[in-house]
Amino acid sequence: MRADKRLANVSGTTASLLFLALAFTSPKLTALDNRKELSRYGRQTWQTESGLPQNTVHAILQTHDGYIWLGTEGGVVRFDGLKFVVYDTQNTPELRSNNIRSLLEDREGTLWIGTADGLTKLKSSEFSTFTVDQGLPNNSVWSVHEDRVGGLWVTTADGVSQYRGGRFVAQSMLPDRDVGAVVPDDLKRRLPSKRIVAVYGDKEGTLWVSTDRGVARIIEARIDRFAPNDFLSGSLVLSFYEDREGNLWLGTESGGLTVLRDQKFITYTDDLVRCAFQDRTGTVWLGTNSHGVNRFENHKFSSIGAKDGLSSDVILALADDSEGNVL
């Protein structure tokens, strides 16, 4: 569904309202069941035939009103659980490019959209645009980040800038592709490579840095290095995301998805994974390179068959165990 005005209204269907109500008012924050293998989760996929404008998803975000936003190479998309509303260069002139690379909702509820040609701001249903004319070092925006005191930082192809008084001011910091956190210069020299692809700070204060020659984990002044072959079959890590239970999701270029859980790397081979996000219900969303957006959630039913060690897939009886599970 293409947006035909500044901010299209959502269809008042029961399904849409139920999705938003659950996403916004869920009384208890949940998470995926850590006891299950990744293949045991319920999985749903949306692609162009479902309404996505394009199947490459670079960014995923849930805003305070419950909507899921997707950054694709065909525009930015708002999802209400039933319909996709697409904002692109045709219906939204403030978007100078359909290649959406990053999304951020700041603490004031403003949505920032980083694109291949400028930064777009959505506030109070109105779009506005920032380019080099407003102080950006370059119109090619890689990432948008809000610091702990509410400062807005933007990483571009020519460096980092901070938003001040309606304009962006260049900063003498890392001109790297992703500044979810800042790598000190002395530690940067000890990384596997100078080419930084992604940077992420987890809840424990650990800094994760992906380079073209592997991943570094920085804890205070200590650096642990992981070569691509250690756990990713030689693949480049494109993104990091930590869920509420402390699991670290690593999206890779050719090795699919890897999750660091209980100090162990578990690989789920699939399409190139560009981003991950956990919504308020505990569901994890993955943006892929060519298979659209995938949603993983807990399932009450899990299948166990011959591939898991049973002698046959033919089951002739039912029973319950001591924990109340039905087999």
Sign of the Cα torsion 66, 60, 194, 255 reads positive
> Residue 298's domain is classified under what CATH number?
2.130.10.10
Q: Judge whether 3 lies within some domain.
A: no
Q: What percent of the chain has pLDDT over 70?
A: 77
Taking only the tens place, the pLDDT of each residue in 93-135 is 999 999 999 999 999 999 999 999 999 999 999 999 999 999 9
Mean pLDDT of all residues in 71-87: 95
- What domain range is 144 assigned to? 14-308
Q: Which pLDDT score is estimated for 3?
A: 63
Distance in angstroms (rounded) separating the CA atoms of residues 51 and 9: 17
Q: Which pLDDT score is estimated for 64?
A: 94
pTM, 2 dp: 0.77
Distance in angstroms (rounded) separating the CA atoms of residues 3 and 222: 49
Both tokens of 316, joined, read 């002739």
Q: Judge whether 326 lies within some domain.
A: no
Q: Judge whether 224 lies within some domain.
A: yes
Higher confidence at residue 270 or residue 282?
282
Q: Judge whether 114 lies within some domain.
A: yes
Phi, psi for 49 (deg, rounded to 5): -70, -15
Checking if the pLDDT of 260 tops 80, the result is: yes
Q: What percent of the chain has pLDDT over 90?
A: 33
Find, among 91, 94, 103, 168, the residue nearest to 137 by Cα. Answer: 168
Tell me which residue has tokens 């402390």. 246
Mean pLDDT of all residues in 161-189: 68
Higher confidence at residue 74 or residue 189?
74
Q: Which pLDDT score is estimated for 195?
A: 76
What's the mean pLDDT when you consider all of the chain?
Answer: 80
Distance in angstroms (rounded) separating the CA atoms of residues 296 and 256: 14
Q: Judge whether 327 lies within some domain.
A: no
Checking if the pLDDT of 198 tops 60, the result is: yes
Number of domains present in the structure of the chain: 1
